[in-house]
Amino acid sequence: MTLQKARSLAARLRGKEELVVTIGIFAFGVYLLAGTRNIQTPVSFSQIGPRFFPYLVGTVLTGIGVWLTIQVLRGKTGKAEESDLVDVTQRTRWVSVVLVVATIIIHGILINLVGWVIACAFLFWGVAFATGSRHWLRDPIVSVVVAVVVYIAFTRVLAVSLPAGILEGVI
Amino acid sequence: MEAVDGLLHGLSVAVQPKYLLWALAGVTVGTLVGVLPGIGPAQAIALLLPLTFTVEPSAAFIMFGGIYYGCMFGGSTTSILLRTPGEAGSIFTAIEGNKMARSGRAGAALATSAIGSFIAGAFATLALGIAAPYVVSLALHLGPADYFTLILVALIVVGVLLGESVARGIASLGLGLAFGLIGYDAQSGMKRFDFGMPQLASGLGDTVIVVGLFAVGGTLYYAAYRRAQEPAVMSRGRVWLTREEWRRSWPAWLRGTAIGWPLGAVPVGGAELPTFLSYSYELRKRRRKRKKHPVPLKDGRDPDDDGIIEAVAGPEAANNANAAGVLMPLLTLGLPTSATAAVLLIAFQQYGLRPGPLLLDSQPELVWGLIAALFIGNAMLLVLNLPLVGLWAKVLKLPGPYLNAAIATFAMLGAYTTVSSTFQVYTMLVIGVVGFALSRFGYPVAPLIIAAILGPIAEVELRRTLEISAGDPSPLFLRPLPAVAYSVVIVLFVVSRVMRYRRRLADRTSAQHGDAATGTGAAEPEPSPESGPTSQQPVVPPVQTESNRR
C-alpha cells in the first residue's frame, strides 16, 4: 500500500521539480524570520532598527514561496531559459554538472596546495572536459597556455597578487 | 553652459594617450566579448572587476565604458550571424537581422546595425552629457524618502513589470534582498545572517553574487543542456549599404535613437521595451507603406520575408541609445536600472565612490572623462566593426567548451582575488548552483542582482526617512516624488494586466474559431502596440538575455 502510495506521489510530482526551488525559497524565508530574532538591537534606536528589513524580506520570501509552491502544484511551472546554445528539452546531464562542481572544488583546494597556475590549468581543462571537449592533446596544452598567460598578465601587468605555489621562482 | 565646459574638460582628459589606449583596449575587449555567443556587457565587466584593485578609477571606467559600448556592437554581429543575442536588447536584431543573413544579405544587416549603433551612440552620449548637469541639480533636492521611492520603483519595474512571471520576479527580488542582508548592518553595525562564518561578516560581496549567478550558473547550465551540434554561423558577404538601403536605414536610426534614449534615461530600465517599441513601429510603418506602394515579388517570394532593414536599423539604434541613457540614472542618482549598470555600480563601490548627484562635483575628471571617452570609443567602434567585422566573425568559431572553460577561469580569478581567499571560490560555487536552478525554472536573474545591490541602500534610506520624521511613515508616500511615482507604477501595472487579459481573451477567441497562430501568422511577427515586450514568444528565437543569464 505504502509503495503504491509512494509511486502515485512520484508520478504526480513528475515535471514539478521546480518544487525544489519554491520550497527552498520558503525555507530561506523561514530561516530569515527565525534568525531575525537573534539580531541584537541597540537601545539607542528609537525607530525601526536592524530587525525591520529582515522581517520584511523574510515575510516576502515565505509568502512567495507558498504562492509559487501552490502554482507549481497546480501545474503552472516556470519555463526554462532557452538559447541556440542549449536545448532544455533534453535530459539534464547531471554527470557534467557534477564534474563542473567537482572541478571548481578541486581548483579551490589546488590554489593553496600547489599555486594558482596549476590550479587554473586544471580548472580550464576540467570545465572543457565536463562540457564535452575530448581533444586529449589539445585540451591540456590550451589549458596550460591560458593559465600561464592569465597569470603573467594579472601578476606582472596588472599587479594583482596570485600565489605562485610550487612554481615559485619558475614563472 | 556647464555641459559644454564639462564635455570639453572631459575631452581634454580622454584624449591623453594613455586613456585613448584604455578606451581602445575597452572597445576591443568589448567587441570580442560581445561577439562571443551568450555573453553580454554585464558578464564581461563583472569578469573584469579584479582590474579595479590596481588600475586607477578614470582608466578603469574608460575601459569599462568601452566594453559596455563594444559589447553592443559585438552582440549585433553575433545576433545577425548566429541568432544568439547576448542581451535582451538584441532580440529583434536576431530576428530580422538573421532573416537577412539567411537570404545572403548579412553584409547589409551588419552595416546598418554598426552605423546605426554609432549614430545612436553619438547622439545619446551627447544628450547624456548635456542633460546630466540638470538632472544632478534636480537630484540635489531629493531626500531619503525620494531615494527610497526611486529604488523601490526601479525594483518593481525590473522584477514585476518586465518579467514573464510576476511571482518568479518577486521571488528573485526577495532572494536578492536576502543576499543583501548578509553581513554587518550598515547603520547599527549588528551582525546579521553570517551563518556562523566570520568570512561572511562583511557580506557576500556583490562581485561574488553577480559573477556566481552569471558565469558559474551559466557554465553549469551549459554543461547540463548544451546542444550536441553548435549552431551554424552565416556567411556575411560585403559589409556595406546600397543607396536604397541607406535611404531606408537613416530615418529608422534616428527614430530608434529618439525612442531608446529617453526610456533609458528615466529610471525604469530595461532594453526590452525601447527595442520592442522601435521594432513594432518599423514593422507597422513598413506595412502601411506597402499598402500605398505594393512591393513586387522577387522570384515568387515576398522580399520582406527575408528581413526588413528598417526593423534591424531601428531596434539597433534604440538599443545603443538606451544603453547610453541608462548611464544617466546611474551617474546622477546612483540608481542602476540594468544588470550592466549594476555591475558598473559595483565597480564604483570598489573604489569607495558612490555615484549620485555629488559625484559630478567631487569627481568631474572621472565623470566627464568617461562621457567623453564613450564618445571617442563609439567612433573607434565604427572602425573596428565595419572593416574588421570579418575578424570578429572568426571568434564565433570558438568551441563552446573552451568558451565556458574561459568564463569559469575568469570567474574563479575574480572570486579568489576579492579577498585572496578560496572561501569566496566556494561561496561563488554555491551561488552558481542557485543561479543554475533559477535559470532552469525560468526565474529572472537581473532582479536578484539589482535587489542585492540596491537593497542595503534602500534600507538605509528608509531608516533615515523614519529617523527624520520621528517614526511617521507619511513622507514615504506623501512627498511629491513618491506620490507621483507610485501612481504611475499603479497605472502601469493595471494597464499591463488589462492588456495581458485582453490578449489572452483574443487568443482564446481566435483559437475557438480555428484560426490561431498557424501558417503565415506564426512565420511573420505581428506585433501589436498593446502587447508587452514579452508577448513575442512565438517569433522570438531562443535567447539568452542579459536579464536572465550569462
pLDDT in tens, B194-211: 787 878 877 888 888 988
- In contact, B477 and B483? CB cutoff 8 Å: yes
In the numeric block, the cell 536610426 is attached to B253
Contact A53 B171 (CB under 8 A): no
How far does CA B119 lie from the centroid of its chain?
Answer: 19
Nearest to B542 among A78, A82, A96 (CB): A82
Helices A138-152, A116-130: axis angle to 10 degrees equals 140
| pTM recorded for the entire structure | 0.83
Contact A94 B224 (CB under 8 A): yes
> What is the pLDDT, as a whole number, of residue A45?
56
The pLDDT averaged over each successive group of 10 residues in chain B (550 residues) is: 82 90 93 82 85 87 93 88 76 87 88 94 93 90 89 84 83 94 81 80 84 91 88 75 91 94 79 85 89 78 85 94 92 88 90 89 89 93 88 82 92 86 92 94 88 89 87 86 87 80 75 47 40 40 39
Q: Would you call B470 an interface residue with chain A, using a CB distance cutoff of 8 Å? A: yes
Contact A81 B442 (CB under 8 A): yes
Burial group, residue B509, by CB count within 10 angstroms (0-12, 13-18, 19+)? exposed
Rounded Cα gap, residues B292 and A79, in angstroms: 42
Contact A84 B227 (CB under 8 A): yes
Taking residue A148's Cβ as centre, other Cβ atoms within 10 Å add up to 15
> What is the pLDDT, as a whole number, of residue A109?
95
Contact A41 B190 (CB under 8 A): yes
Taking residue B394's Cβ as centre, other Cβ atoms within 10 Å add up to 10
> What is the pLDDT, as a whole number, of residue B522?
38
* Three cell numbers written together for B63: 575601459
Q: Would you call A164 an interface residue with chain B, using a CB distance cutoff of 8 Å? A: no
Contact B192 A54 (CB under 8 A): yes
> What is the pLDDT, as a whole number, of residue B546?
38
Which residues of chain A neighbour B409 with C-beta distances below 8 Å?
120, 123-124, 127, 146-147, 150
CA angle at B330 for the pair B193 and B192, rounded to the nearest 5°: 5
Contact B193 A35 (CB under 8 A): yes
- Closest-CA distance, A6 to chain B, in angstroms, reads 25
Rg (CA), chain B: 23
Nearest to B188 among A42, A93, A99 (CB): A42
Contact B425 A104 (CB under 8 A): yes
Nearest to B401 among A57, A108, A132 (CB): A132
Cα nearest neighbour of B470 on chain A = A47
- Closest-CA distance, B404 to chain A, in angstroms, reads 7
Closest to B324 in 3D by CA, of B334, B313, B338, B314: B338
Contact A131 B224 (CB under 8 A): no
Cα nearest neighbour of B543 on chain A = A83
Rounded Cα gap, residues B154 and B337, in angstroms: 6
Cα nearest neighbour of A77 on chain B = B441
- Best of A25, A127, A136 to disrupt the B interface by mutation (most B CBs within 10 Å)? A127
Q: For chain A, 171 residues long, give each residue's pLDDT as a single digit of tens.
A: 577 888 888 887 778 889 999 999 999 999 999 988 888 777 655 567 788 889 999 999 999 999 999 999 998 888 887 777 788 888 899 999 999 999 999 999 999 999 999 999 999 999 999 999 999 999 999 999 999 999 998 888 777 888 888 888 777
- In contact, B33 and B71? CB cutoff 8 Å: yes
Q: Would you call A156 an interface residue with chain B, using a CB distance cutoff of 8 Å? A: no
- Closest-CA distance, A8 to chain B, in angstroms, reads 23
Interface predicted TM-score (ipTM) of this complex, two decimals: 0.93
Contact A158 B416 (CB under 8 A): no
Residues 6 or more apart whose Cβ sits within 8 Å of residue A140 = A121, A125
- Closest-CA distance, B27 to chain A, in angstroms, reads 19
Cα nearest neighbour of A58 on chain B = B178
Contact A104 B429 (CB under 8 A): yes
- In contact, B58 and B19? CB cutoff 8 Å: yes
* Three cell numbers written together for B121: 551612440
Residues 6 or more apart whose Cβ sits within 8 Å of residue B279 = B92, B95, B96, B311, B314, B315, B527
DSSP state of A157: I
Per-residue pLDDT of B56-66, as tens digits, reads 899 999 999 99
Contact B409 A146 (CB under 8 A): yes
DSSP state of B293: S
Q: Would you call B429 an interface residue with chain A, using a CB distance cutoff of 8 Å? A: yes
> What is the pLDDT, as a whole number, of residue B511?
63
The CA-to-CA distance between both ends of chain B, in Å, stands at 41
